[in-house]
Amino acid sequence: MEKILDIISAKVSQAFAQAGYDAAYGRVTVSNRPDLCEFQCNGALAAAKAFHCAPMQIAQAVAEKLSPEDFELAEAVKPGFLNLRLCGSFLQHYLQAMATTPDYGVEKLGQGKTVVVDYGGPNVAKPLHIGHLRSAIIGESMKRIYRFFGYHAIGDIHLGDWGLQMGLIVAGLREQQPELCYFDHDYVGPYPEEAPFTLAELEQIYPAASARKNVDPAFAEAAHQATYELQNGRPGYRAIWRHIMRVSLADIRKIYDNLDVHFESWLGESDADPFIPDMIARLKAQGSAVESEGALVFPVAQEGDKKEMPPCILIKSDGAVLYDTTELATMVQRMQDFSPDKILYLADKRQSLHFEQVFRAARKSGIVPETVDMEFLGFGTMNGADGKPFKTRDGGVMRLEQLIADIMDFVRKKVVENQIVPPEQVEQTAKQIAMAALKYGDLSNQPTKDYIFDLDRFAAFEGNTGPYILYTVVRIKSILAKYGAWQNLSIQAPESQSEKELMLAITKLAGNLETALRTSSPNVICSYIYELAGCVNKFYHETRILGEENKDRQAGYIALIALAKDILETCISLLGFSAPERM
Ligand code: ARG
């Protein structure tokens, strides 16, 4: 379906042409004076310059050409604006078409296209912390938005599983238990099925080893050596690596499942490893990879650079590969496996230099051709009340698991105190509200901005919050349940201002979803549903819906709020949460 602004613009453009002016001046926007009109066109002001006549004269001539069947108001106002209000019947037909067309008639802009969304990005063997939360929440939402538009969207978790942290664990374990067969050069296998550590032990080995490398150069050297040997296939180290992966991944999966965040591809940096030798050979042959101080680098600086642009480092002087290397090799792999039209990367915005470097390298080397779009969506930090990165009460890094548990406790208490649902539904309802609080709290901010995590505010049932949206959906659901069979009723023309405002808000769905898609901004969907929910609640307060005696009129009300509910539920599913039946 055409977007409402496009339809209205076409009508106004035609009127410009009929009045003898260029149709290009007919672009209509949503009014910035909703007290005066719903839409406006400022084209007469520009046309006046080109046609050397008074803008008012043009605006008046155009207004006269507009049909009263479309516009209840088409008025020229000084100095030459065109103020517009739509007829109720126009809205009625537009909404009826939305209600009866799949996905509300939103155009499938991604049909036949594939996008890889690289998000999550946890580092194996390190506990997930809140830094990974935004990646998971925003990435999942972007993936769902792509899917809604018809893209084949592949969520790829891109595990951090090949770097120094793996070598640190090997070196740490070796010190604790040097007698293990993994460290014995003469041992020819098979290696034990059982890991030599539990998850809890693993989570101690890593931070201890990581702290130690900063103060103990010999240990740091051993960890680098272990990383190199692991990457080069030492069997005992690969066996330890597999243990680490299995133990850690089980936990990682659990946490993402709990967040309702799901990946189609569970590949990691290590999976790019087999692609590295060929890639390096190609880059050397091209002349794009060169030796520099014992390392192999890919210079990416170019003329006109305003800041320093260091080269990508492909192979360090000690032989190990780095983040840049696995990043580029992963591109090789993705081009081969998915031939995507686009790759969207999510990571902390402090990684923007890394992505600028590898994007340049990918283009220069032809690893990713110009026809494939690459975008880095760098997100800001989630801060505590003090404006600094969110910490635990004792100042430590907040583990994601802990954060989710804290939010659940907070919401569960509220659900129990307010006696919202029977005891057996408490857990499920609390979960839905908690997810709405957490995800909406995050997504309602522009991804690139930092924000302050404020559970009291995020979990409130009033204000610009996820639970408020859920509350609105639940309110409509309860009216629909009392009404009875509410499907397939017809939308009617509005009779009151609040009804018309609700209808106008509904028409803006497609435009807002497209903006969210094009600008990678789920926050646009949040603002949209906040406005829509506000219109629903205003309409509800000003209208006797269940008490309405005229049955036809009542059916129209029901059709309208049912459409609003469906749209709200569709939008929250794009944000990654869902509404309970009762609240
Ligand atoms: N593992 C990385 C981190 O914890 C994020 C990975 C982002 N994705 C990528 N392709 N580099 O910061």
Q: Is the CB of 118 under 6 A from ligand 1?
A: yes
Helix (H, G, I), strand (E, B) or coil at 520: coil
Q: How far is the CA of 347 from the centre of ligand 1 (A)?
A: 6
Contact 572, 507 (CB under 8 A): no
472-500 tens-digit pLDDT: 999 999 999 999 999 999 999 999 999 99
What value does the mean pLDDT take over residues 333-343?
98
What value does the mean pLDDT take over residues 358-367?
98
What value does the mean pLDDT take over residues 206-210?
92
d(CA 164, CA 123): 11
Mean pLDDT of the chain: 96
What value does the mean pLDDT take over residues 369-389?
94
How much is the pLDDT for 382? Answer: 92
420-455 tens-digit pLDDT: 899 999 999 999 999 999 999 999 999 999 999 999
d(CA 441, CA 451): 9
Which of the four pLDDT bands, split at 50, 70 and 90, describes residue 310?
very high
How much is the pLDDT for 128? Answer: 85
Question: For residue 124, what are the contacts with CB-CB under 8 A and spacing of at least 6?
Answer: 159, 160, 161, 165, 166, 244, 245, 248, 249, 252, 268
265-305 tens-digit pLDDT: 999 999 999 999 999 999 999 999 999 999 999 999 999 99
Q: Is the CB of 126 under 6 A from ligand 1?
A: no
Mutate to test the pocket of ligand 1, among 270, 345, 375 (most ligand atoms within 8 A of CB): 345
Q: How far is the CA of 353 from the centre of ligand 1 (A)?
A: 13
Token pair recorded at residue 89 = 């019947």
pTM over 0.85: yes
Write the DSSP assignment of 412-459 as a string of letters.
Answer: HHHHHHTT-S-GGGHHHHHHHHHHHHHHHHHHTS-TTS-EE--HHHHT
Q: How far is the CA of 345 from the centre of ligand 1 (A)?
A: 9
What value does the mean pLDDT take over residues 214-221?
96
How much is the pLDDT for 498? Answer: 97
- Omega within 30 of 0 (cis) for the link into 190: yes
What value does the mean pLDDT take over residues 332-359?
97
73 torsion bin: left (phi>0), alpha (psi -120 to 50), beta (else)? beta
Domains of the chain: 4-86 (3.30.1360.70), 164-258 (no CATH), 401-575 (1.10.730.10)
What value does the mean pLDDT take over residues 157-183?
95
Which of the four pLDDT bands, split at 50, 70 and 90, describes residue 245?
very high
Token pair recorded at residue 352 = 């923007």
83-92 tens-digit pLDDT: 999 999 999 9
Q: How far apart are the first and last CA of the chain?
A: 35
Q: Is the CB of 121 under 6 A from ligand 1?
A: yes
3-state helix, strand, coil in the chain (%, to 5): 55, 10, 35
Residue type, 294: G
